[in-house]
A and B are shown apart, each in its own frame.
Chain A
Amino acid sequence: MTLEERSSPILKAFEKAVAWARMNSVWAVHYNSGSCNGCDIELLTTITPRYDVERIGIKLAGSPRHADVLVCTGPVTGQGKDALLRTYEQMPAPKFVVAIGTCALSGGVFEGSYNTYDGIDGLVPVDVYIPGCPPRPEAIINGFAQLLEKVENYA
């Protein structure tokens, strides 16, 4: 494809439409890389009636192949590392990563253990960091809102 073609108005309009669609239905896949569950139950809480992230178009998908966003919790254990990388690789581009919880950010209280990798950002690129041990559901949704902004501006 030449440069001219790529900047053709039709293609641009098409890309805009795709971005709009993507931003309105973000599907996320959840991977637990060895967290204590605290973050996972708070993440699940966000899809239940009180918080309900589906109102901003976010839905948990079952398979990484259907997902736009990888939501990852936990400090990444030795055994969980390969599965994390595999999950990430299986996702279709463009892909985004959200790290939830202090563990996923830096290893948290488990930093320095023999079986953890001190957070996921050494292994996969992270777009949004949500700190907290565990972050409140409000905080998680706020993090998702930031992500949506990023998705919207993604070209």
Chain B
Amino acid sequence: MPEDAKNTEETTEELVEETVALIPQVEAAREVLEPLSTSTTASGTKLLYVAVSLDQLNEATEAIVGSGLGYLISITPVDLGVEENQFEVLYHFGVGPGVVTIRITIPRDEPVIPSVCEQVPSATYYERELMEMFGIDVTDTPNRTRLYLPDQWPQGIYPMRKDYVPRSERQLPESKKDKV
């Protein structure tokens, strides 16, 4: 199955790149990001994924937000698993009808990224989520307190990582124990 799936993915990607032209706004964003990116993939006419190296992140963000091309919708961290030993952090920007996603990859054992709050002040909420759920350290972010997790949640346990075992850290009331 994985073999198969890989093949289909590759072929569709090639097809997309050859045949479908991006919508103008997304194309403009692609051009702006071109010098900063290490690779780009498109999916359909509206979705563009641009891989950027870690130190270019702020520049790339500024390139989209500063020019008024788009606005930051959200930041999605993805755990690629223990074997891959990597986290992906995706910055989604709404660009006209399309979405341009800046992708950075960081090692799982040393997850540190720079903050984009300089460029987008509301990113602080997404960065706080990143820190508490994945344990990704965001340097220079203005607010480091927890946003969603309870105050009594133990330090150093990050529930959204793939290797987290649910409920390992917390006692349920006696009467509910048998359900776990």
Contact = CB atoms under 8 A, between A and B. Distances in A.
B150 A122 contact: no
Given A78-B170, A112-B166, A113-B166, A118 B176 contact: yes
Contacts of B149: 78-79, 115
Interface string A109-152: 00111110111011100000000000000000000000000000
B175 interface: yes
**Residue in B148, B164, B176, B180 with the greatest tally of chain A CB atoms within 10 Å:** B176
Contacts of B6: none
Nearest to A80: B150
B152 interface: yes
B170 A77 contact: no
Interface in B152-166: 152-153, 159, 164, 166
Interface residues of B, number: 18
B173 A123 contact: yes
A34 B159 CA distance: 18
B157 to A, nearest CB: 9
B159 A114 contact: yes
A111 B151 CA distance: 21
Sort A-B residue pairs by CB-CB distance and give the 4 closest, nearest first. A122-B173, A78-B150, A79-B150, A114-B166
Given A79-B148, A117-B172, A118-B176, 19 more contacts: A77-B150, A78-B149, A78-B150, A78-B170, A79-B149, A81-B150, A112-B166, A112-B180, A113-B166, A114-B167, A115-B150, A115-B159, A117-B173, A118-B172, A118-B179, A119-B176, A121-B175, A122-B172, A122-B175
